[in-house]
């Protein structure tokens, strides 16, 4: 049996047409007129796609369980059930103006791996596990990637359940509303290794004409919440030199953040993604402004330097404009190196399939970056058009998605059929 499986697995490919059909089918859950997806985590639309995924996994012979944070685990037995399963997947939630591939590709390609193995009648040595992680995007509840972070031990389950969205709804209430607060404890599901397929969300692979990105690690991320407090005054009677305009202070701080990021080019980035005048009025000088700041770089030392420079800039602007800038760091994720053995397995799988490839660092955060702190993990990238993501125009080709699924399939087979690791 093992010899027959070995010969069959070497040339095994996924069904690219079937994978593409599932991508199109699931895009209907939260689909937008512009061709994207609005499927915020734990929304009714998220509940519908979770139901679809649960039923599709059950039809493929998998046993589906759900943990206390709503993460779905779909298990396929292996010959040696004493071994921890090889896990793969991503997430099914999207941004408010998300596309059809971000996260979705990794989950549906994982399902396609199972279906392809079933079609070929192949049994692996280690069990296999397809995972849909809750709230990767962080667009409704912060921080992002919270379920995988809790699995890795960065948060307790109770801490996550108590998080609230902008409307004051807790994660616990949102899970209950769609029926996905599971009974399994977070972290109870064992994972031996984790592989995540994802679109690159950047322009490098497409620009270089490469089909596969072999991801060696993820860059560090810092999130800040900011509030600028100046003084509200009449727009018609307050002379310009006497104003304490919070919005102008934010404008200056935003340009300072750009300058700081450019000083650490080409890897560093800084983004003010949200900004709001508190109590706005057409004829009132803005007195209070709230904003968010996202800072990223592959080096911890650069993150340290950027935070210091940002705080210096805030202090300088505050002093000159006679107002207060409160900058609070709410999250920091250190740069993450991926497991060299899994990176090598991905590289070898891509080479065996004849795909052009390059080593790459992930600019975005992913569940694999959290998992890497607890289990061996790595990622596979495929190109997306113009590097666009978190946008309804996000696009990837059927051929590239199929190539990524093939590399995932061959990587999983290498890991699942490798000699069992010795316990330390």
Residue 148: Cβ-neighbour burial (10 angstroms; 0-12, 13-18, 19+): buried
Q: Are residues 107 and 240 in the same domain?
A: no
**167 CB burial (10 A radius; 0-12, 13-18, 19+):** exposed
Structure tokens at 361: 């660092």
Is position 424 within any domain? no
Question: What pTM, to 2 d.p., does this model score?
Answer: 0.85
* Cα distance between residue 235 and residue 242, in whole Å: 11
Do 176 and 260 belong to one domain? no
Q: CATH code at 404?
A: 3.40.630.10
Structural domain ending residue among the three candidates 299, 333, 367: 333
In a shared domain, residues 324 and 380: no
Does residue 421 sit within a domain?
no
**355 pLDDT above the threshold of 50:** yes
Q: Are residues 317 and 251 in the same domain?
A: yes
What pLDDT band is residue 292 in, cutting at 50, 70 and 90? Answer: very high
Query: Quick one: 225 and 210 in the same domain?
Result: no
- The fraction of the chain above a pLDDT of 90, given in percent, is 93
Tens of pLDDT, residue by residue over 76-102, are 999 999 999 999 999 999 999 999 999
CB 166 within 8 A of CB 49: no
Query: How many structural domains is the chain composed of?
Result: 2
**Same structural domain, 176 and 59:** yes
What pLDDT, in 10s, does the model give residues 191-204? 999 999 999 999 99
CATH code (residue 255): 3.30.70.360
Residue 250 lies in a domain: yes
Reported as a pLDDT band with limits 50, 70 and 90, residue 269 is: very high
Same domain, 206 and 310: no
Q: What is the signed CA dihedral for 99, 102, 103, 106, rounded to 10 degrees? A: 110
CB proximity list for 148: less than 8 A, separation 6 or greater: 71, 133, 136, 367, 370, 371
CA separation (Å) from 36 to 96, 141, 297? 9, 21, 29
Q: Which of 286, 312, 333 is the last residue of a domain?
A: 333
**89 and 124 together in one domain:** yes
Full domain range(s) for residue 315: 220-333
- Answer whether residue 245 shows pLDDT above 60: yes
Q: What would the mean pLDDT of 271-287 be, rounded to a whole number?
A: 97
What is the average per-residue pLDDT within 322-328? Answer: 98
> Do 317 and 370 lie in a common domain?
no
Dist CA 411 CA 380 (whole Å): 10
331 pLDDT band (50/70/90 cuts)? confident
pLDDT attached to residue 214: 98
Same structural domain, 10 and 78 = yes
Residues in CB range of 80: below 8 A, 6 or more apart: 125, 126, 420
- Is 5 a residue whose pLDDT tops 80? no
Q: Is it the case that residue 4 has pLDDT exceeding 50?
A: no
Helices 44-59 and 16-26 pack at an angle, to 10 degrees, of 150
- Whether 327 maps to a domain, the answer reads yes
Which among 264, 298, 333 is the end of a domain? 333
Q: What number of other Cβ atoms are within 10 A of residue 390's Cβ?
A: 18
Q: In this structure, is residue 423 part of a structural domain?
A: no
Residue ranges of the alpha helices (H) in 81-209? 104-120, 146-152, 157-161, 171-178, 204-208
pLDDT tier, 3 (very low <50, low <70, confident <90, very high otherwise): very low
Take residue 246 and report the two structure tokens written for it.
């919070």
């Amino acid at each position: 049996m093992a010899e027959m499986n070995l010969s069959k697995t070497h040339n095994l490919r996924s069904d690219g047409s079937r994978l593409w059909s599932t991508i199109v089918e699931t895009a209907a859950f939260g689909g937008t007129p512009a061709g994207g997806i609005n499927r915020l985590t734990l929304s009714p639309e998220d509940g519908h796609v979770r139901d679809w995924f649960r039923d599709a996994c059950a039809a493929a012979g998998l046993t589906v369980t759900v943990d206390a944070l709503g993460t779905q685990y779909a298990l396929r037995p292996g010959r040696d059930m004493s071994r921890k399963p090889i896990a793969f997947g991503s997430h099914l939630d999207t941004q408010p103006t998300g596309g059809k591939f971000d996260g979705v590709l990794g989950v549906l390609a994982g399902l396609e791996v199972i279906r392809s193995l079933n079609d070929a009648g192949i049994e692996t040595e280690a069990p296999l596990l397809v995972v849909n992680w809750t709230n990767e995007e962080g667009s409704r509840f912060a921080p992002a990637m919270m379920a995988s972070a809790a699995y890795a031990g960065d948060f307790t389950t109770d801490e996550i359940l108590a998080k609230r969205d902008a409307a004051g709804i807790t994660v616990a209430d949102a899970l209950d509303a769609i029926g996905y607060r599971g009974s399994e404890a977070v972290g109870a599901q064992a994972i031996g290794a984790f592989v995540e397929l994802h679109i690159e969300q950047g322009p490098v692979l497409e620009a270089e004409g490469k089909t596969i990105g072999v991801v060696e690690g993820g860059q560090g991320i810092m999130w800040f919440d900011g509030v600028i407090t100046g003084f509200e005054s009449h727009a018609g009677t307050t002379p310009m030199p006497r104003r304490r305009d919070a919005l102008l202070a934010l404008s200056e701080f935003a340009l300072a953040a750009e300058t700081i990021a450019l000083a650490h080019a080409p890897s560093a980035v800084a983004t003010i993604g949200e900004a709001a005048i508190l109590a706005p009025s057409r004829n009132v000088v803005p007195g209070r402004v709230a904003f968010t700041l996202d800072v990223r770089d592959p080096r911890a030392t650069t993150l340290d330097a950027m935070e210091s420079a940002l705080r210096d800039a805030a202090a300088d602007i505050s002093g000159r404009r006679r107002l207060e800038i409160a900058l609070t760091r709410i999250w920091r994720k250190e740069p993450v190196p991926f497991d060299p053995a899994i990176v090598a397995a991905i590289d070898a799988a891509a080479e065996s399939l004849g795909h052009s490839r390059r080593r790459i660092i992930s600019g975005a955060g992913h569940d694999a970056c959290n998992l890497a702190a607890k289990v061996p993990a790595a990622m596979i990238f495929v190109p997306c058009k113009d590097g666009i993501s978190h946008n309804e125009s996000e696009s990837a080709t059927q051929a590239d998605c199929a190539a990524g699924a093939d590399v995932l399939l061959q990587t999983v087979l290498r890991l699942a059929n490798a000699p069992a690791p010795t316990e330390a």
